Amino acid sequence: MAGLALALAVALPPGARALEVDEVPMPRVTVDGEFFVTFDYSERTPSAGGSDIIGAGANLDDSAVTLTLDKPLARGPAVGGVRLLLRLEHSAVEPLLHAFVAGAQYRFSLGAMPLRNTLVRFPTLREGDLLPYTHALNGSLGLAGESAQTLGDAAVLDLYFRPSPWRLALFGQRRAQTRWDATAGAFVADDEARANSGGVVLAYDVAKGLRYERIVRRLGILYDTQTLRRGDNTEGQLTAMLAGGTVGLNAEPEYPWELSFQALQSSGLDDRDTGGLPLRATTPDALPRERAQAAVVSLRFINRRYLMTRWQAALTVADKSFADIPQGSQQSVVAAFLWRLGPGFDMAAQAARTDYAPGLASIVGQRSETRYQLGLSMALEMRANSNVVDPDSILELEHRRGARGN
């Protein structure tokens, strides 16, 4: 009889089961995101000489909306839920969905999400403005677009040592990948469902509510490794190490100065052709396979009079060099400005300049690029049915600190 009852409980639809009190409770609903549009004007100087190439147009990239549904779990102070990210790139919407289970000391996420391949978010208008300097790039050939470098399928375990700001993350990822097609004589998309990269992050992250109380606000190191197809269709490893952080230069929450920095070292891929000869990059999409090092430093000032942001200005400089490319270096300077027009609504302006040394210019096809951007940004944030404890809230952190002291 017990076996029959169990079989019926599994086989019958939910509506036919014995009624329970609040069997499927309402989850907490969180919607946040940013709608961002700029008018971009750019000038490029070709590597072969001649007149500058000029381009202009509207840019809606990085506009995104995130919907998070989570609810308390039956055992312990834990929650489970799903997170849907809708992101716009090149006028196409990219949906990403992952599920998670989280407690005060851990969070496990599984699904499609932003990759863990950078440490510091620098104060530029868009995350991809300094992508070659700031991210451990996907080394697969023939991949274009920011999404191939920043999005993928992943399994991530975050371990938090609250109330301490330290965090340890272990991750395995499936990045977009390619394989060599002998018939086509080129690398083509490879849809093999397997994890092809992974790594570990050790970071010191101050909670948002306590950010302006600490001088050191973020420090971390990241190790990233990828399995890639070489030109002879064998597999090789590409590894990268990143270290960086953000520190406050003063203890004034109304007028804070912040310094952010990050260094990146990439091992490069031992790439070779079918004859066993080394392959060097001849096109921009092959550059992530080259041995390289990069550094980025930014200085930001925020006017937060009466603890309300009025405007902010930032200057960022970046340098990258490729060890096996003669005269293979590039430098960028980015100046960004945000003016708060109203709560969650900003006017943004940015000027960026990138120069390429002659050896690298022959590969990327230009000696320099200058881009000017002017636009508007609207932030979105709302929450309903808030029945879940935020482990990073000031109240919860102070409670845990007090409990540990007792």
What are 286-301's pLDDT values in tens digits?
899 999 999 999 999 9
Counting residues of the chain whose pLDDT is more than 90, the rounded percentage is: 62
Largest separation between any pair of C-alpha atoms in the chain? 87
What are 345-362's pLDDT values in tens digits?
999 999 999 999 999 999
Q: Could you give all domains of the chain from N- to C-terminal order, each with its CATH number?
A: 26-405 (2.40.160.10)
In this prediction, residue 144 carries a pLDDT of: 72
**Least-confidence region, from 67-76, 179-188, 204-213, 244-253:** 179-188
Q: Report how far residue 10's alpha carbon sits from residue 23's, in angstroms, rounded to the nearest whole number.
A: 16
In this prediction, residue 50 carries a pLDDT of: 72
Q: Is the pLDDT of residue 190 over 50?
A: yes
In this prediction, residue 19 carries a pLDDT of: 58
Residue corresponding to tokens 């009852």: 5
Q: Is the pLDDT of residue 310 over 90?
A: yes
Counting residues of the chain whose pLDDT is more than 70, the rounded percentage is: 90
Name the token pair of 288.
């992530």
Confidence of residue 400 (pLDDT cuts 50, 70, 90): low
Of 149, 122, 124, 125, give the one whose Cα is nearest residue 39.
Answer: 125
In this prediction, residue 42 carries a pLDDT of: 94
**Least-confidence region, from 52-56, 285-289, 337-341, 354-358:** 52-56
Mean pLDDT along residues 43-71: 88
**Least-confidence region, from 29-43, 46-60, 78-92:** 46-60
Confidence of residue 8 (pLDDT cuts 50, 70, 90): very low
In this prediction, residue 172 carries a pLDDT of: 96
Q: Is the pLDDT of residue 2 over 70?
A: no
Q: Report how far residue 44's alpha carbon sits from residue 25's, in angstroms, rounded to the nearest whole number.
A: 56
Looking at every residue in the chain, the average pLDDT score rounds to 88
In this prediction, residue 6 carries a pLDDT of: 42
What are 144-175's pLDDT values in tens digits?
778 889 999 999 999 999 889 999 999 999 99
Q: Is 244 exposed, middle or buried (0-12, 13-18, 19+ CB in 10 A)?
A: buried
Cα–Cα distance list, 401 to 51, 106, 113, 163 (Å): 63, 17, 32, 6
Q: Report how far residue 97's alpha carbon sits from residue 155's, in angstroms, rounded to the nearest whole number.
A: 12
What are 104-146's pLDDT values in tens digits?
899 999 999 999 999 999 999 998 899 999 999 999 887 777 8
CB 180 within 8 A of CB 231: yes
In this prediction, residue 13 carries a pLDDT of: 56
Q: Could you count the other beta carbons within 10 Å of the beta carbon of residue 256?
A: 19
Which position has the higher pLDDT, 118 or 188? 118
Confidence of residue 312 (pLDDT cuts 50, 70, 90): very high
Q: Is the pLDDT of residue 203 over 80?
A: yes
In this prediction, residue 261 carries a pLDDT of: 98
Confidence of residue 10 (pLDDT cuts 50, 70, 90): very low
In this prediction, residue 4 carries a pLDDT of: 42
